[in-house]
Amino acid sequence: MESPRIHPTLAGWIDTHVRARTLAGVRLKAPEGFVYASTEAFLLAHGESFTPGPLPRRYARVRGELGQCYGNAQRIWRASDGQLDYCEGYSLGSVIPMLHAWCVEPDGTVVDPTWAWGTDRFEIEPDAMFGVRFPHAVVRAVLRLDPGMAFSLLDAWTIGWPLYRFPFAVATEEEVEVLVARIKEHGLARMRRERANRRRNARRGRTARKGTP
């Protein structure tokens, strides 16, 4: 499962996750309705390596709270007016690789408002990053499915992992439009199911009250 594009430690970490799933008896084949079996499978198919570096001075005022990487990165991504790309994946720090979110400039410069390396606030200095750079339209489409809070696009379990349900083909604008349309349809289908479940539960509640002596 290793790839020459990935830092050896990150590659080993991902391989360990895959092996653990196998030992636990979890099938590596994607379940029905999914294209990708796991976060690791998605990253191996579409990820790229990024070189960590200090937070550029022009972004010094946007440092966010530790433990809030998704919200921090999404906030500066929105504020950049299209100048930054949003990324998620694994970041290798001083302890173990962690799922993480950051942004990148067009030239590939990492802009990470959470892990403020080289400061007295947080001494962690990532050795490597491996993740997916998401098209802006895809980020907007996924976040609109649950606009009440910041969340991980890769681990979006509250909205049914939409990115793992469709081929992540984003090489052209036409492919991005197709993926965005599929994500929106997934969101609409989810809303219809939730409404149907609420109506069903309401009917059951009325029936139960009628039968109460």
pLDDT tens digits, 66-87: 889 999 999 999 999 999 999 9
The DSSP annotation for 63-82 comes to: ---TT-HHHHHHHHHHHTTT
- Convert the pLDDT of each residue in 86-115 to its tens digit: 999 998 876 678 899 999 999 999 999 988
Q: Is the dihedral of CA 79, 84, 86, 90 positive or negative?
A: negative
- Mean pLDDT across the stretch 177-204? 85
Structure-model confidence comparison of residues 200 and 189, the more confident one: 189
Give the span between the Cα atoms of 184 and 162, in whole angstroms.
9
Where is average pLDDT lowest: 65-79, 128-142, 199-213? 199-213
Is 20 a member of any domain?
Answer: no
Question: 119 or 33: whose pLDDT is higher?
Answer: 33
How high is the mean pLDDT of the chain? 84
Residues 150, 163: Cα–Cα separation, whole Å: 16
Q: Which amino acid is at 31?
A: P
Q: Is 9 inside a domain boundary?
A: no
Contact 129, 91 (CB under 8 A): yes
For residue 164, the model assigns a pLDDT of: 96
**Residue 182 counted as domain residue:** yes
Q: Look at residue 164 and tell me if it is in a domain.
A: yes
The reported pLDDT for the residue numbered 25 is 54
| 195 assigned to some structural domain | no
Comparing CA positions, the residue from 155, 189, 196 lying closest to residue 69 is: 155
Q: How far apart are the first and last CA of the chain?
A: 63
Cβ contact 153:137 at 8 Å: no
Q: In the predicted model, is pLDDT for residue 119 greater than 60?
A: no
Instruction: Compute the half-sphere exposure of residue 118: CA atoms within 13 Å on the CB side of its CA.
Output: 10
* Residue 133 located in a structural domain: yes
* H/E element, 88: strand 85-92
Single out the residue of 124, 102, 125, 94 nearest to residue 48, CA to CA.
102
Residue 160 lies inside a defined structural domain of this protein: yes
Quick check: 90 and 131 in contact, CB under 8 A? yes
Q: Which of 22-36, 117-131, 136-150 has the highest mean pLDDT?
A: 136-150
Number of residues that make up the chain: 213
Number of domains into which the chain is organized: 1
Six-digit token string for 189: 């289908």
pLDDT of residue 76: 94
Which residue range(s) make up the domain with 185?
Answer: 48-190
State which H helix or E strand residue 139 sits in: helix 136-143
CA pair distance 34, 164, nearest whole angstrom:
6
Q: Is there a domain that residue 34 lies in?
A: no
